Structure 1
Amino acid sequence: MVYLTRRETFNAAHRMYREEWSLEKNIATFGKCANPNWHGHNYSLFVTVKGKISYETGYLIDLKLLKMIIKDHVIEKLDHKNLNLDVSFLAGKMATTELLCVEIFNELKTPIESNEGVFLHSVRLHETENNYAEYFGE
């Protein structure tokens, strides 16, 4: 089994808040992330696939194809968007790095695994250089 990782980046804004809470409670819970004027991040996304190498091509998956899948199913939907307002697969969900990581995994699983012998292993999402979430589909 070989593991192969592709890194992509995107920029997006979001706000952490619950509409049913007061502004004071949101700020007490989420701090600066509850800013009514939003805030943004330069995200780094790491998508790891696994499987057996094709000895005919030498590839697990063509990296150009993996790049296209990630771009079409995730980056185009997230880059320079407001995660709370513009992203259909986050509708009704808190726009945390943890949930975003899970939802990105869900968006990528089927298109990646439609390639014979290729399986989505994990999605790792860096919100900052110090904070990231990783999801293995469990």
Structure 2
Amino acid sequence: MKDRPLIEVAPHRRVVCLPPEATVRSACLGMRGAEATAVLVTDAEGRLLGIFTGRDAICRILAAGRDASTTTLGEVMTARVEALGPRNRAIEALHLMHDGGFRHVPVVDGGRVRGLVLRSDFRALERAQIEVEEEIFQVLR
């Protein structure tokens, strides 16, 4: 059970990947078409360069008054992306999301994108267990 790879968490999910030159508008259209909450920004070989989320669209584009038709993903993506490999366990992704305060973890193998794990992939009970562990950890400090 502990060898279960991350990629099995949601193998049906279509991951939206776009180059850094793509506009935010095209990213938003891609997210809408795929019913996705994020776009992985990749180079021509499929290597992960960054991530752009629906939350980024609101905070970095709409709220900032930027033009989504001319702003590129390379200008507004999060470039320092926490990623895991396909041999990592799903619970590691949940811990990473909890500790980092984000909702997406790309799965990368050999530098290339292989999938995307979302916080919503986990049941409420699993998320609650992480919170219990955090409380225990705080008490033990």
Q: Quickly name the TM-score band, shorter chain normalised.
A: under 0.3
Greater C-alpha radius of gyration: 1
Q: Which is strand-richer, 1 or 2? A: 1
TM-score (norm 1): 0.27
TM-score by length of 2: 0.27
